[in-house]
Structure 1
Amino acid sequence: MVIEVRPATEFEDVRTLVGPKRPDASVCWCLSHRLPSKQNNALHGEERGALVAEMCRSDLPPGVLAYDGDEPVGWAGVAPRADTQFARSRRIPHLDGPEPWCIWCLRVRPGYRGRGILRPLLAGAVEFARERGAAAVEGYPVDNGEQRVDLTMAFVGFRSLFEEVGFAKVADTDAVAGGIPRVVMRRELGA
């Protein structure tokens, strides 16, 4: 399997990874951390998908997709931290240095899990940010060691995965996912 990571410009492919089975359902669409809380809470049903479609057509797509050939198999939400909920977070510390982009969600489609998609997906998200001028990228994964993580909370990623892609732990947080502490992982991208 050769994984190619591309900007999330194909709405139907984004829908495949993060959209609901019913278009009128008010599910995440990976907007919960991307939008200000008030805007996120005001969007219902098909409005959520319509906003994601608009984002896919914009100069800053909502993230990246991993492909196996033409099949979308993975998703990563990535954007400038200033444009996300993390800009206002009291649980995730703000660190000195260049304003980072952040990666807040990693997802692999059922049936494709366990095939080595996460590493190239995360690396592709970093490259997406670099190509758009990011000087640093952060993620806020769980620091689970060998502890098992509930799949519903695994979307934040794992410290070990971020380390494999060149990130370093730079801070603890007051946040948890599934009862497991989250940490700030950062990768400086340089000039």
Structure 2
Amino acid sequence: MRVHIQPEQPDSAVARALIAELDAVLNPHYPPESRHGYSVEKLIQQGVAFFVVYLDKQPVGCGGVQIFGNEYAELKRMFVRPGFRGRGVGKQLLAHLEAYAAERGIRVLRLETGVAQTEAIGLYEGFGFRRIPPFGPYFEDPLSICMEKKLS
């Protein structure tokens, strides 16, 4: 099993397919006002650094990092296809995204996720993220969780 993570334009066919799968997984659980994921167009417009993770040359996940000045970076559109979870792919992707932010001098990494994403929440907590009040564009929402981690 060989994992390879590479930068990818969010509007590439591979990235679009992964983002569409992510939306298909999330949409049944959340009403429109509780969906905060960026569209492909907004990922590009906001300058999100986007990556695709390959397992033996097959695209199995994606994720991005948006940097907000020197204040913090935020994880965006992190996803691993359900059939490939439990193999450490998400951990490797998260470590890659953390390293990307840290290499740019960012000391705080934040994210927003939905309460139904229990596997993701477990992954983030295992990486040292802790729950925080809503930040930036987010608001109190019983279906939403905001988290952050201090980077060394």
TM-score, normalised to structure 2, is 0.64
TM-score, normalised to structure 1, is 0.53
1:46-65 counterparts in 2 under 5 A?
51=41, 55=44, 60=47, 62-65=49-52
Q: Which has the larger radius of gyration?
A: 1
Asked whether the equivalents of residues 7 and 61 of structure 1 are also in contact (C-alpha less than 8 Å), the reply is no
Identity %: 24
Gaps of 5+ in 2: 22-35, 135-139
Asked whether the equivalents of residues 62 and 79 of structure 2 are also in contact (C-alpha less than 8 Å), the reply is yes
1 CA distance for matches of 2:86 and 2:126?
A: 16
More helix by share: 2
Q: Secondary structure at the match of 1:175?
A: coil
Tell me what 1:186 maps to.
Answer: 148
2 CA distance for matches of 1:107 and 1:128?
A: 17
Tell me what 1:77 maps to.
Answer: 64
Gaps of 5+ in 1: 21-31, 35-39, 41-47, 83-97
Tell me what 1:176 maps to.
Answer: 142
Deviation at 1:138? 0.8
Asked whether the equivalents of residues 140 and 156 of structure 1 are also in contact (C-alpha less than 8 Å), the reply is no
Deviation at 1:110? 4.3
Alpha-carbon deviations, 1:108-167, whole Å to 9, x = none?
A: 22432343322212111112222333222112235x6xxxx3xxxx39931x31122232
**Closer/same/farther in 2, CA of residues 134 and 115 from structure 1, 3 Å limit:** same
More strand by share: 2
Q: Secondary structure at the match of 2:85?
A: coil
RMSD: 3.4
1 CA distance for matches of 2:51 and 2:101?
A: 10
**Closer/same/farther in 2, CA of residues 187 and 18 from structure 1, 3 Å limit:** same
Tell me what 1:157 maps to.
Answer: 120
2 CA distance for matches of 1:73 and 1:188?
A: 28
Asked whether the equivalents of residues 50 and 62 of structure 2 are also in contact (C-alpha less than 8 Å), the reply is yes
Write out the 4+ residue segments of structure 1 that deviate beyond 4 Å after TM superposition: none
Asked whether the equivalents of residues 48 and 67 of structure 2 are also in contact (C-alpha less than 8 Å), the reply is no
Tell me what 2:89 maps to.
Answer: 117
